[in-house]
């Protein structure tokens, strides 16, 4: 099954790098991935042999597998994620920084011999369709069969990528190890990883560019095409090359008359991106198709409009809470050919998690491998349990999801989890004001990273953990898009909040398929219709402008959803003033001006 990398490419820089990596990591074997279906089957067999994968019941869930990670390795580790440049100011105040030269010296010592006793897998992968001008090529080296299997679902892997790379094409070197070398005759464990959380490193060198990841085998820490390349490294490349790499879903909304508009949306992890991207509208005649649920790369096209492409080929979604009520299309997507991580395993050989819409089994094996019953005092699935499923299996995948030129974006949404203050939806006055709205975004934290949950933090553009350079410069880059084209051709910008709560703690808005009612108003606004009222924070739907037909929504809840609490917004502006101070003179003056204008509008009420 293996092929020596020297026979697969004539790319001298790639060969030199791979030779250095082999000498550094000292694997027992080297395997170059060809991306074939036969290879995927082989990798899954390897993962089962080592106990990493458990095959699920082929009748209930054909060609699906369950993995259980070590309890120390269940989510992104933001405090161990670094942006390494020569000068700290280039990384900015929101990133963990270390001097690039010093970090490389440290990593070389850590990686020395890290793959002893293991197989080194070389994964050539393309983010975006192979050969598209949008796309970027990475080469991930890893000692994890789990990573290989997931990368095969999430990216375009194999020989075709090496062929597109040619003998001198650009690529991003991505070096990953679980950090668990094996001595002779030492037994392996199902989930090898570095147990010490302070000895994990997810490191990005945007000036090279390159990625080094050590000690974690989980998700965005290890699937280096995802957050590492597609956002942190790509955002730095996008700044240099004049485009945008964003933590955004992409969907197509089609009216009953057949008119289509493409919408991108930025939300922090576990805040409903996947649900929105695959939504089944409750409004008759309206249709949503999905192009991606997590990442959008956007460029200005020849006609001056902003075009977006999803560079991934799969969904790596949060499992708990996903059900036929919340996201039936996701449930249909992972019925086959999928990988589940840290879910419960039923006695019938199927998966289960909390809020799946299926009664809890009388007995199962929980995500840590222990017996579990409904009387147990712990969750059967980890709150950040995941499914990895091919995008092509989504029943509402858009016909243009792999269009190498992308699709034209009409609207951009920002949002997050906010129990108060932020209305259901409001619209920016113009592009600059929209960038201000994105920079001011905040959300209550979730289980998708190893920090406290439920804490409100500023998360501008939902990119706080993912921006690969100084966030102040990132704001300036967004503002600069208005100078690259006719500003009237840029998307309209909106802020949405599905999570507003009443004083008694209940959600004021039903969410899920009923979010189509908000999207319909946005659709109308983009087309020159949709009635709105101007408020200090932006344009809100006018009374009666939201289509609430067939929805039993208490009048008091609707009023609260569309009310601007001036006192709360004055506090919001004060908090934002303090937050902006973090960026010093890197904060664009235009955003300071927007903040002062907001304060003036609020005090004028």
Q: For the segment 384-420, what is each residue's pLDDT rounded down to a tens digit?
A: 999 999 999 999 999 999 999 999 999 999 999 999 9
Give the pLDDT band (50/70/90) at residue 343: very high
**Per-chain mean pLDDT for the chain:** 96
Nearest 5°: phi and psi at 370?
Answer: -105, 160
In percent, the amount of the chain with pLDDT more than 90 equals 94
d(CA 38, CA 68): 24
Instruction: Say yes or no to pLDDT of 243 above 70.
Output: yes
Reading the block at residue 494, the tokens are: 């909106």
CB 349 within 8 Å of CB 59:
no
Please check whether the domain covering 5-51+77-241 is classified as CATH 3.40.449.10: yes
586-589: long-range pairs with CB below 8 Å, 24+: 586/89, 586/92, 586/470, 586/471, 586/472, 586/473, 586/476, 587/472, 587/475, 588/472, 588/475, 588/476, 588/479
> What's the pLDDT at 304?
98
Q: According to the model, what pLDDT value does residue 207 have?
A: 96
pLDDT exceeds cutoff 80 at 292? yes
Query: 389 near 153, Cβ under 8 Å?
Result: yes
pLDDT at 448 over 60: no
Predicted confidence at residue 133, as pLDDT, reads 86
Cβ count near 502 (within 10 Å): 15
- Cα dihedral sign, 195-314-388-495: positive
Instruction: Say if residues 21 and 213 touch (Cβ distance below 8 Å).
Output: no
What fold is seen in the domain 245-310+401-603? Phosphoenolpyruvate Carboxykinase; domain 3 (3.90.228)
The whole-number average pLDDT for the span 291-299 is: 97
Domain 316-391 -> CATH class: mainly beta
The DSSP call for residue 171 is -
Domain 5-51+77-241 and domain 245-310+401-603, same fold? Reply is no
What gap in Å lies between CA 80 and CA 525, rounded to an integer?
42
Report the C-alpha dihedral over residues 105, 107, 110, 115, rounded to 10 degrees.
-130
- Check if 271 is active-site: yes
| Exposure b/e, 323-353, CB count within 10 A at least 16 = b | beebbbbbbbbbeebbbbbbbbbbeebbbbb
Contact 355, 330 (CB under 8 A): no
Q: What pLDDT is recorded for position 45? A: 98
Instruction: Please report which confidence band the pLDDT of residue 449 belongs to, taking 50, 70 and 90 as the band edges.
Output: very low
pLDDT of residue 4: 66
CB-based contact 449:78 (threshold 8 Å)? yes
> Can you give the pTM of this predicted structure?
0.96
Q: Is the predicted pLDDT of residue 27 greater than 50, yes or no? A: yes
Read off φ and ψ for residue 270, nearest 5 degrees: 65, 30
Of 482, 494, 528, 439, nearest to 300 (Cα)?
482
Give the chain's length.
605
Q: What's CA 602's distance to the chain center, in Å? A: 34
Task: Label residue 3 by pLDDT band (50, 70, 90).
Answer: low
- Phi, psi values for residue 103, rounded to 5°: -65, -40
Q: CA of 442: how far to CAs of 104, 105, 351, 415, 572, in Å?
A: 34, 36, 33, 8, 10
**Whether the Cβ atoms of residue 426 and residue 537 lie closer than 8 Å to each other:** yes
The span from the CA of 222 to the CA of 229, in Å, is 11
Alpha helices in 119-213 (DSSP H): 145-154, 159-165
**Beta strand pairing call for 425-427 and 492-496:** antiparallel
| Interval 504-533: pLDDT, tens | 999 999 999 999 999 999 999 999 999 999
pLDDT above 50 for 364: yes
Average the pLDDT over 299-303 and give the result.
Answer: 97
The pair of three-digit structure tokens given for residue 484, joined into one six-digit string = 């690259």
- Please write the tens of the pLDDT for every residue from 539-583: 999 999 999 999 999 999 999 999 999 999 999 999 999 999 999
CA 83 to CA 541: how far, in whole Å?
41
Residue range 121-179, pLDDT digits in tens: 999 999 999 999 889 999 999 999 999 999 999 999 999 999 999 999 999 999 999 99
Ordered strands of the 314-318 beta sheet:
53-55, 65-67, 339-341, 386-390, 314-318
Q: Which residues contact 539 (CB under 8 A, 6 or more apart)?
A: 426, 427, 428, 429, 525, 532, 533
Spatial neighbors of 375 by CB under 8 A, at least 6 apart, are none
**Are residues 50 and 143 in contact, defined by beta-carbon separation less than 8 angstroms?**
no
Residues 329 and 317: their CA atoms lie apart, in Å, by: 12
User: Which run of H or E residues covers position 526?
Assistant: helix 516-526
Confidence (pLDDT) at 450: 44
Q: What is the pLDDT of residue 444?
A: 80
Percent above pLDDT 70 for the chain: 97
Sign of the dihedral through C-alpha 583, 584, 590, 591: positive
Please identify which of the residues 33, 271, 290, 467 carries the catalytic annotation. 271
Give yes or no for residue 451 having a pLDDT over 80.
no
Q: How far apart are the first and last CA of the chain?
A: 71
Whose structure tokens read 């492409």? 309
Backbone angles phi, psi at 133, to 5 degrees: -65, -20
Positive or negative, the Cα torsion across 44, 49, 51, 52? negative
Burial of residue 27 (number of CB atoms within 10 Å: 0-12, 13-18, 19+): buried
Neighbouring residues of 45: CB distance < 8 A, sequence distance ≥ 6: none
Cβ atoms of 272 and 321 within 8 Å: the answer is: no
Domain ranges in the chain are 5-51+77-241, 245-310+401-603, 316-391
Q: Which residues contact 113 (CB under 8 A, 6 or more apart)?
A: 25, 26, 181
Give the pLDDT score at 269. 76
pLDDT at 452: 55
Q: Do residues 245 and 228 make contact, with C-beta atoms less than 8 angstroms apart? A: no
């Amino acid at each position: 099954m293996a092929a020596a990398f020297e026979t697969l490419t004539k790319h001298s820089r790639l060969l030199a790098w791979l030779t250095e990596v082999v000498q550094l990591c000292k694997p027992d074997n080297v395997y170059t991935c060809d991306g074939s279906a036969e290879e995927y089957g082989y990798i899954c067999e390897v993962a089962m042999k080592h106990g990493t994968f458990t095959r699920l019941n082929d009748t209930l869930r054909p060609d699906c597998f369950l993995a259980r990670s070590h309890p120390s390795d269940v989510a992104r580790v933001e405090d161990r994620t670094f942006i390494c440049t020569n000068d700290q100011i280039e990384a900015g105040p929101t990133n963990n920084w270390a001097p690039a030269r010093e970090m490389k010296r440290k990593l070389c010592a850590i990686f020395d011999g890290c793959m002893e006793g293991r197989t080194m897998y070389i994964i050539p992968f393309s983010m975006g369709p192979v050969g598209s001008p949008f796309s970027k090529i990475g080469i991930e080296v890893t000692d994890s069969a789990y990573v290989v299997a997931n990368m095969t679902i999430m990216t375009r892997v194999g020989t075709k990528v090496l062929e597109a790379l040619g003998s001198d094409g650009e690529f991003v070197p991505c070096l990953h190890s679980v950090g668990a070398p094996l001595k002779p005759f030492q037994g392996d464990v199902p989930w090898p990883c570095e147990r010490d959380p302070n000895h994990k490193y997810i490191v990005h060198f945007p000036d090279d560019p390159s990625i080094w990841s050590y000690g974690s085998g989980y998700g965005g820490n290890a699937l280096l095409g995802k957050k590492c390349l597609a956002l942190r490294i790509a955002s730095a490349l996008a700044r240099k090359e004049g485009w945008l790499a964003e933590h955004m879903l992409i969907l197509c909304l089609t009216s009953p008359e057949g008119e289509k508009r493409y919408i991108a949306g930025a939300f922090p992890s576990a805040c409903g991106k996947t649900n929105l991207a695959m939504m089944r509208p409750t409004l008759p005649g309206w249709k949503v198709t999905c192009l991606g649920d997590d990442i959008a790369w956007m460029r200005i096209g020849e006609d001056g409009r902003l075009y977006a492409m999803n560079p991934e080929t799969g969904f790596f979604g949060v499992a708990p809470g996903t059900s036929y009520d919340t996201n039936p299309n996701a449930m249909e997507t992972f019925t086959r050919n999928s990988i589940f991580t840290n879910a419960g395993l039923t006695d019938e050989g199927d998966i289960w998690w909390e809020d799946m819409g299926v009664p809890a089994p009388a007995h199962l094996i929980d995500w840590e491998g222990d017996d579990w019953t409904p009387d147990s005092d712990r969750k059967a699935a980890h709150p950040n349990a995941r499914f990895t499923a091919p995008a092509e299996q989504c029943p509402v995948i858009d016909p243009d999801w792999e269009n190498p030129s992308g699709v034209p974006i009409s609207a951009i949404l920002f949002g997050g989890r906010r129990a108060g203050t932020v209305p259901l939806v409001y619209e920016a006055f113009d592009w600059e004001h929209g960038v201000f709205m994105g920079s001011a975004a905040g959300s209550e934290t979730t289980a998708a990273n190893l920090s406290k949950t439920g804490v409100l933090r500023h998360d501008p553009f939902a990119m706080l953990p993912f921006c690969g350079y100084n966030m102040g410069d990132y704001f300036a880059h967004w503002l600069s898009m208005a100078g690259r084209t006719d500003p009237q051709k840029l998307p309209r910008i909106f802020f949405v909040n599905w999570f507003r709560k009443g004083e008694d703690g209940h959600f004021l808005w039903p969410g899920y398929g009923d979010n189509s009612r908000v999207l319909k108003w946005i659709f109308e606004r983009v087309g020159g219709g949709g009635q709105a009222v101007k408020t200090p924070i932006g344009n809100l739907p006018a009374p009666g402008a939201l289509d609430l037909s067939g929805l039993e929504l208490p009048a008091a809840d609707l009023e609260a959803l569309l009310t601007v609490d001036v006192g709360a917004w004055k506090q919001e502006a004060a908090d934002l003033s303090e937050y902006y101070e973090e960026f010093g003179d890197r904060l664009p003056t235009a955003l300071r001006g927007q903040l002062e204008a907001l304060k003036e509008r609020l005090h004028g009420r």
